[in-house]
């Protein structure tokens, strides 16, 4: 597990920086998952295109830092979610979440996946990943936009 602490939305981060995502792809870290990547445009576009389609836009780096650009790849839309779920962990147990459209997308070349969300939220409850079909304990590398 890696924590992308510099991009923690719980501490004011945008949750859309792409440095770690680019590194995972460059190293072909098959099976790695990063989340929550806040990208309303990509999450909504994935929802419109549907599961199984190729996402026709880059992800991340939409509101972040100067010089960063969205990650362009062959993003296959694996799973879609409404963003409505109930937290189950010690911090958010029982809390109702409404974070808008979500999508699990996987780069076909590297096998790296990203969980996209329409609204900014700190990745600190497993249900955020389970809602989109990812069981955190089964992922070889899990990158959290959190601390």
Angle at the Cα of 69 (from 68 to 71), degrees rounded to 5? 125
Rounded CA gap, 127 and 4, in Å? 19
At residue 16, what are phi and psi to the nearest 5 degrees? -135, 15
Full residue range of the structural domain in which residue 67 is found: 2-144
What is the rounded CA–CA span in Å between residue 95 and residue 4? 24
Give the residues across from 65 on adjacent strands. none
Return per-residue pLDDT of the chain as tens, 147 residues: 999 999 999 999 999 999 999 999 999 999 999 999 999 999 999 999 999 999 999 999 998 678 899 999 999 999 999 999 999 999 999 999 999 999 999 999 999 999 999 999 999 999 999 999 999 999 999 999 998
Number of domains in the chain: 1
- What is the per-residue pLDDT for 114? 99
Residues 137, 142, 143, 147: is their CA dihedral positive or negative? Answer: positive
Cis peptide before 36 (omega within 30 of 0): yes
**Any idea how long the chain is?**
147
């Amino acid at each position: 597990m890696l924590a992308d602490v510099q991009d923690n939305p719980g501490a004011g981060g945008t949750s859309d920086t792409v440095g770690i995502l680019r590194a995972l792809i460059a190293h072909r870290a098959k099976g790695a998952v990063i989340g929550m990547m806040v990208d309303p445009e990509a999450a909504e576009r994935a929802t419109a295109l549907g599961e199984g389609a190729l996402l026709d836009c880059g992800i991340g780096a939409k509101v972040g830092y100067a010089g960063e650009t969205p990650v362009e790849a062959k993003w296959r839309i694996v799973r879609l979610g409404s963003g409505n779920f109930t937290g189950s962990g010690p911090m958010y147990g029982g809390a109702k979440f409404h974070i808008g459209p979500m999508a699990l997308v996987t780069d076909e070349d590297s096998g790296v996946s990203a969980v996209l969300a329409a609204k900014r939220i700190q990745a600190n409850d497993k249900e955020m990943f389970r809602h989109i079909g990812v069981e955190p304990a089964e992922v070889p590398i899990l990158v959290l936009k959190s601390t």
